[in-house]
Structure 1
Amino acid sequence: MSGQYPCNSDPGLDPRYVGRPQSPNVNELRGIQRGYSSPTGGRHDVQQPTGPPPIPEAYYRNFGHIPATIQGHVGMTFNPDGNQCQVTGPLPLLRSPNRGAESPLPSGYDYHFEPTLDPKYECPICLMCLRDPVQTECGHRFCSDCIKRCLRNAGLRCPVDNVSLTEAQMFPDVCVRREILDLQARCPYQDCPDLLELRDIESHKESCSYRTEPCPNQCGASMRRRSIDRHVEKECPRRLIECQYCRGPLCFNQKERHHAECPKRPISCEYCHKEVLSDHLHIHHQHDCTEIPVPCQFASFGCSERLPKERMAIHVSQSMEAHLQLMAIHFQNQQTQLPRTTSYPGTSWRMGATYDSQMSEFATAAGGKITDVHEHGARKLDPEQLVRTQIGPSNYVTSPSVMPSFGSGAFDPMDQFRALRITVKELQEKEVWMRQKVIELESKAARKDSEIATLRNEVHSLQEETKDLREHVANGIFVWRLRKYSELRVSAERGEAMVRHSEGFYTGSCGYRLCVRVNINKSETRKVLYISLFVHFMQGKYDSSLEWPFRGSITLSLVDQNIDPELKQKNITERLVAKSNLDAFKKPKTARNHKGFGYMEFASIESLEKEGLFIKDNTILIKVEVHPQSN
């Protein structure tokens, strides 16, 4: 096969191509490859072809013309005449739609050149612009990587004229490389409009805003670099946000779970329906909530009532007889565990004695404090009296821990009675201490409120003094920074009357006091927006020593805010002279004279927005110069 076709001994060569020239025509190969990879200099927006190539892959491989981006094997079958072939394997795309920006193998420069690339700068192997060009002794130029790979895979022969060739017979073509780097090419990233020299494209690709990059938060999304900031701030599911309750940072996709567990989230108490913080709910139930059900303090004796805290005192008062009966039953059950006879100072507790006799002896042992147990049990206690023995809802007795323990050991009524008296005394002392503490805190809070009020008065006084000093410093020349200009313009377009007044200023240390009024209005005849400027005299400290009506001149100016030293500022200025017969220049009888003097159509809004730089950062500068007439 190599004798019939002397290019090389590649086993993939088909003998039916012996009639073709040994050195392929570059224009022919460029036409063959059109559709698989667009011609050098063209945009790579051609999709994968559907038909078979006119020349099989073996023909490319023998001449080293298989582009570096082709992956996998392409099978071919021929008809009996040998003049047609069919593709039996997949035909991969030769380049990505990004115009070769991310080519997996090194090859030539595959960019859109302007003007179109000269054929002399094309590599005969990859049919792209030469990258690191080398020249052979036979006078052909190739990409350095392309020719080296061709010599390794197809043999030591020139792929153009088939002469013997080794790497030692090639040298870098520095002159052509410099010419190529001077060529102009488009950025390879889609939609990027930049046209750069070839030497700058690689560095441009690293910073190109159209380059696709993954999200820095590793959310799995990819977007253009120019959109990363917006994605990270507003769209990324893993972006950091601030919890509206605890003000702590959290990921956006964990917002719902965090809010369900946030200790600072306000929730409603299931009993009193008041809003409390999540981590304070337990404390609220224990100390503050008056609707939470609590067991009766006589639950250890058999009372099964569970009522809200505020109703438990009423229950204890109204059910005292029933509680005493429960206690008596409890005591009777206990005496089965006591010895047959048990003596106590002043009385004896005998098994089999009647309930009345035992309770009478208990009353006698108590020092005559209770003369009639039945009468005492029938008497109802005042609920307020019970509440006074408590230290607020937080210390309400909800368990028998405060009551003496009757459930274990020998029963001693005197010890239990003394324990009750000691407990009541301790609670009363604690109540007194808490009341004193509350009085101290209230007194301290009152002092702090007084100090705060004093500081507020001082701040207000300083603000007034500062304003007065600022008005005197003007000395007849006042510059007003009119902010939020767009609001005035929008209100004028809607037909709404929106007027703004400046702060007052003095014409001197003991001069007149004035202010400026501005508004935007629409001309009824020409339907054009104009800015109106007026001056109003105000009541001042020195009006009684001044001559009225005011005599002199006033200059109004809209300041051009251009700071370029090469461009001259073009202020819009008008000068008006005071007229003594007008009310606007007479001594004001109110804080601000309702009569003003100025111009309804000082300047058109169109001229302000087109000429110069009168509007900057949504702000207009208005300058007023007052020149009183000297006597």
Structure 2
Amino acid sequence: MSSEKLQVQQSSNNIVDPPEESPYTCPVCLSWLKDPMLTSCGHRFCKNCIESWLERESSCCPIDNIPLRSDKDIFPDNFTRREISQQKTKCPNIGCNIELTIVEMESHICPFDLTEPKQLDCTFFTFGCNFKGNSTEEIDRHSSENIQQHLMLMSQAYTNLNIRKSSSASKTEESKLWDPPPKENDTSTDKSHELIRAMYERLIILEQRTHEQEITCRNLRKEINELKTINQTIINDTRQQFCGGIYIWSISDFRSKLDTMIKDHNKMYYSEGFFTSPFGYRFCARLNLSPKNPDFLGLLVHVMQSTHNNCLDWPFNGKISLTIVHPMNSYYNIKETMMTRPDLEAFQQPHKLMNPLGFGYTEFILIDELFSKGFVHNNCLTVKIQVQTV
């Protein structure tokens, strides 16, 4: 038997080791055979032990170095498996007299098992932190979450150390003529002082890094919000540019806007710009109280500047439809269609962002009719504008 190559592993705390020279002992892990396998050369091993051995060490038997192939020379030993399952042993815990099979021992929860997992002290235990954790990960998490508390403990320890040093120094000055010189220098105080200073500096660095990370995260959130705004703007511009001259204007918070226009008759609300085609004319809609009769709402359109204005034919010639959309029944929609008049200034090429003269109806609908016929739904008024070139 090649004892130099065998790897000895400790058995589980809850499983009793097999007797020495037992036929049910794995020669590799020296514990009870688990999922026993029989080799063609007549030796028994745990399934994981022999497979790991052949993969890691060599393709030979650990006992007699006979070449083995995992697909042809290793077989499940069901007879030994049944024999082991019938072997009963006593629970290793003092006070427990239950006899169990090896299979039952693995899942046995003994009431007499008084062993407890060893807890780890906090790194700052010497400075007064009494926290205990079950793993190094828990200790590290505690240290990162309680930097301020550890900083205060270290500061307090540093202050107490300085007080003791001052007191000790004054007493030494008073009695130095009476005391004999020390046999060797006591450097424990200096070492404690250096340790506290090193830990204090480390905490300051960690706190600074945390602050820098917070600033970085805040800047990233700001950039993300800006990118979201830019992305939404691009989506809106793309939707308006490829709408084919049909624009749906949803006027939210309509009652508040109406109150504002009633208080100030010069107040006007404009829609976003929309295009008749991707490279065509650009228009917007306008809503305001009629200057002649404030009981009516006026609805008009304005020609706007676009990137390709110089490539278009002026004045604009086409058909414009304005519709107040009923939210429940399209039968009640109020629609007006009109042809443009090239002689009007409203359809000439704009030299500013928007042509100041609009075209439409200054008295399109009675305000009372909007509410009595249910055009305003969930405080929102919907207007449809369609512009077609001719």
With over 3 angstroms needed to count, the CA separation of the structure-2 counterparts of 1:439 and 1:489, relative to structure 1, is closer
Aligned-partner residue type, residue 288 of structure 2: N
TM-superposed CA distance for 1:549, in Å, is: 2.2
SS of the equivalent of 1:510 reads coil
Q: Which aligned pairs between 1:51-90 and structure 2 lie closer than 5 A?
A: none
With over 3 angstroms needed to count, the CA separation of the structure-2 counterparts of 1:366 and 1:463, relative to structure 1, is farther
* Cα distance between partner residues in 2 of 1:571 and 1:357: 111
The corresponding residue for 1:503 is: 272
Query: Greater RCO between the two (CA within 8 Å, min separation 6)?
Result: 2
Within the candidate set 226, 236, 260, 1:467 is matched to 236
> Retained in 1: the 8 A contact 2:271–2:285?
yes
Within the candidate set 198, 221, 245, 1:429 is matched to 198
> Retained in 1: the 8 A contact 2:158–2:196?
no
Within the candidate set 308, 313, 325, 1:547 is matched to 313
The corresponding residue for 1:480 is: 249
TM-score, scaled to structure 2: 0.51
With over 3 angstroms needed to count, the CA separation of the structure-2 counterparts of 1:484 and 1:453, relative to structure 1, is closer
Matched, 1:615 2:376: yes
Aligned-partner residue type, residue 252 of structure 2: R
With over 3 angstroms needed to count, the CA separation of the structure-2 counterparts of 1:461 and 1:607, relative to structure 1, is closer
* Cα distance between partner residues in 2 of 1:286 and 1:435: 11
Aligned-partner residue type, residue 552 of structure 1: G
Please list the CA deviations of residues 15-44 of structure 1 after superposition, one character each: whole Å capped at 9, or x if unmatched: xxxxxxxxxxxxxxxxxxxxxxxxxxxxxx
CA RMSD of aligned residues (A): 4.0
Please list the CA deviations of residues 67-102 of structure 1 after superposition, one character each: whole Å capped at 9, or x if unmatched: xxxxxxxxxxxxxxxxxxxxxxxxxxxxxxxxxxxx
> Retained in 2: the 8 A contact 1:488–1:520?
no
> Retained in 1: the 8 A contact 2:247–2:386?
yes
SS of the equivalent of 1:620 reads strand
With over 3 angstroms needed to count, the CA separation of the structure-2 counterparts of 1:324 and 1:461, relative to structure 1, is same
Aligned-partner residue type, residue 178 of structure 2: Q
> Retained in 2: the 8 A contact 1:504–1:538?
yes
SS of the equivalent of 1:358 reads coil
Within the candidate set 524, 531, 537, 2:303 is matched to 537
TM-superposed CA distance for 1:474, in Å, is: 2.0
Q: Which aligned pairs between 1:344-355 and structure 2 lie closer than 5 A?
A: 355=175
Please list the CA deviations of residues 27-64 of structure 1 after superposition, one character each: whole Å capped at 9, or x if unmatched: xxxxxxxxxxxxxxxxxxxxxxxxxxxxxxxxxxxxxx
> Retained in 1: the 8 A contact 2:300–2:361?
yes
The corresponding residue for 1:571 is: 333
Aligned-partner residue type, residue 617 of structure 1: N
* Cα distance between partner residues in 1 of 2:338 and 2:183: 105
Aligned-partner residue type, residue 303 of structure 2: F
TM-superposed CA distance for 1:423, in Å, is: 0.7
SS of the equivalent of 1:421 reads helix
TM-superposed CA distance for 1:453, in Å, is: 5.5
TM-superposed CA distance for 1:546, in Å, is: 1.0
* Cα distance between partner residues in 2 of 1:599 and 1:580: 17
With over 3 angstroms needed to count, the CA separation of the structure-2 counterparts of 1:366 and 1:537, relative to structure 1, is farther
SS of the equivalent of 1:357 reads coil
> Retained in 1: the 8 A contact 2:151–2:203?
no
The corresponding residue for 1:592 is: 354
With over 3 angstroms needed to count, the CA separation of the structure-2 counterparts of 1:443 and 1:570, relative to structure 1, is closer
Q: Which aligned pairs between 1:112-191 and structure 2 lie closer than 5 A?
A: none
* Cα distance between partner residues in 2 of 1:450 and 1:601: 50
Task: Give the structure with higher Rg (CA).
Answer: 1
SS of the equivalent of 1:297 reads helix
Please list the CA deviations of residues 265-306 of structure 1 after superposition, one character each: whole Å capped at 9, or x if unmatched: xxxxxxxxxxxxxxxxx9989967xxxx999738987xxxxx
The corresponding residue for 2:130 is: none
Query: Mind listing any 5+ residue stretches in structure 2 that lack a counterpart?
Result: 1-145
TM-superposed CA distance for 1:547, in Å, is: 1.3
* Cα distance between partner residues in 1 of 2:276 and 2:159: 82
* Cα distance between partner residues in 1 of 2:222 and 2:347: 41
> Retained in 1: the 8 A contact 2:317–2:389?
yes
With over 3 angstroms needed to count, the CA separation of the structure-2 counterparts of 1:294 and 1:600, relative to structure 1, is farther
TM-superposed CA distance for 1:483, in Å, is: 2.0
With over 3 angstroms needed to count, the CA separation of the structure-2 counterparts of 1:579 and 1:366, relative to structure 1, is farther
SS of the equivalent of 2:178 reads helix
> Retained in 2: the 8 A contact 1:512–1:543?
yes
Aligned-partner residue type, residue 540 of structure 1: S
> Retained in 2: the 8 A contact 1:561–1:569?
no
> Retained in 1: the 8 A contact 2:298–2:363?
yes
TM-superposed CA distance for 1:556, in Å, is: 1.4
With over 3 angstroms needed to count, the CA separation of the structure-2 counterparts of 1:562 and 1:429, relative to structure 1, is closer
The corresponding residue for 2:178 is: 358
With over 3 angstroms needed to count, the CA separation of the structure-2 counterparts of 1:419 and 1:324, relative to structure 1, is closer
Please list the CA deviations of residues 107-158 of structure 1 after superposition, one character each: whole Å capped at 9, or x if unmatched: xxxxxxxxxxxxxxxxxxxxxxxxxxxxxxxxxxxxxxxxxxxxxxxxxxxx
Query: Mind listing any 5+ residue stretches in structure 1 that lack a counterpart?
Result: 1-281, 302-315, 333-353, 368-413
The corresponding residue for 1:490 is: 259
* Cα distance between partner residues in 2 of 1:430 and 1:283: 11
Matched, 1:516 2:285: yes
Please list the CA deviations of residues 365-397 of structure 1 after superposition, one character each: whole Å capped at 9, or x if unmatched: 599xxxxxxxxxxxxxxxxxxxxxxxxxxxxxx
TM-superposed CA distance for 1:538, in Å, is: 2.0
With over 3 angstroms needed to count, the CA separation of the structure-2 counterparts of 1:561 and 1:438, relative to structure 1, is closer
* Cα distance between partner residues in 2 of 1:428 and 1:464: 54
Aligned-partner residue type, residue 548 of structure 1: W
SS of the equivalent of 2:376 reads coil
> Retained in 2: the 8 A contact 1:502–1:517?
yes
Within the candidate set 374, 383, 386, 1:625 is matched to 386
TM-superposed CA distance for 1:422, in Å, is: 0.8
* Cα distance between partner residues in 2 of 1:532 and 1:459: 35
Within the candidate set 525, 544, 561, 2:327 is matched to 561
TM-superposed CA distance for 1:458, in Å, is: 3.9
* Cα distance between partner residues in 2 of 1:476 and 1:299: 82
With over 3 angstroms needed to count, the CA separation of the structure-2 counterparts of 1:580 and 1:447, relative to structure 1, is same
TM-superposed CA distance for 1:444, in Å, is: 4.7
Aligned-partner residue type, residue 361 of structure 2: Y
> Retained in 1: the 8 A contact 2:265–2:291?
no
The corresponding residue for 1:605 is: 367
Q: Which aligned pairs between 1:277-356 and structure 2 lie closer than 5 A?
A: 297=160, 323=167, 327-328=170-171, 355=175
* Cα distance between partner residues in 2 of 1:603 and 1:463: 33
SS of the equivalent of 2:280 reads coil
Please list the CA deviations of residues 334-381 of structure 1 after superposition, one character each: whole Å capped at 9, or x if unmatched: xxxxxxxxxxxxxxxxxxxx845137x55xx599xxxxxxxxxxxxxx
With over 3 angstroms needed to count, the CA separation of the structure-2 counterparts of 1:499 and 1:286, relative to structure 1, is farther
Please list the CA deviations of residues 153-177 of structure 1 after superposition, one character each: whole Å capped at 9, or x if unmatched: xxxxxxxxxxxxxxxxxxxxxxxxx
SS of the equivalent of 2:357 reads coil
With over 3 angstroms needed to count, the CA separation of the structure-2 counterparts of 1:285 and 1:456, relative to structure 1, is closer
Count of residue pairs brought into register by the alignment: 243
